Amino acid sequence: MITLEYLRHFRFFDFAIFDTVLSFLAVFLLSPLLSKLFRKMHVEIPKLNWLFLTLPLAITVHILVGKMTPMTKYFLDIHSHYILKIIILVSLILGLRGIKKIRG
């Protein structure tokens, strides 16, 4: 039987491929529900934007709960990992780009 630790063993640099793919899959599946929920609060967030916001939201949540994953540590490290920082910031910009306030 395949265990969770075995699935997390496969990595791209220091990042577990299983966790990353699972995060994007979860956001992809939840994006219609999340968009509908935010529509009730008069905010239009396209489903594609949720995918762009996956990594920035994951880092934010990990910081808030105090769980320092390798990606969170690398993002907070001010002396290196600039490509990761650029990817996260570009994802944040693309994710926020299509959000609109709608009239209720």
DSSP 1-63: ---HHHHHT-EETTEEHHHHHHHHHHHHHHHHHHHHHHHHTTEE--HHHHHHTHHHHHHHHHH
* Residue pLDDT, tens place only, 54-79: 999 999 999 999 999 999 999 999 99
The pLDDT of residue 2 is 78
Average pLDDT, the chain: 95
Q: Beta strands 15-16 and 11-12: pairing type?
A: antiparallel
* Residue pLDDT, tens place only, 30-49: 999 999 999 999 999 999 99
DSSP label at residue 66: T
CB atoms within 10 A of CB 55: 21
| Higher pLDDT among residues 74 and 5, named by residue | 74
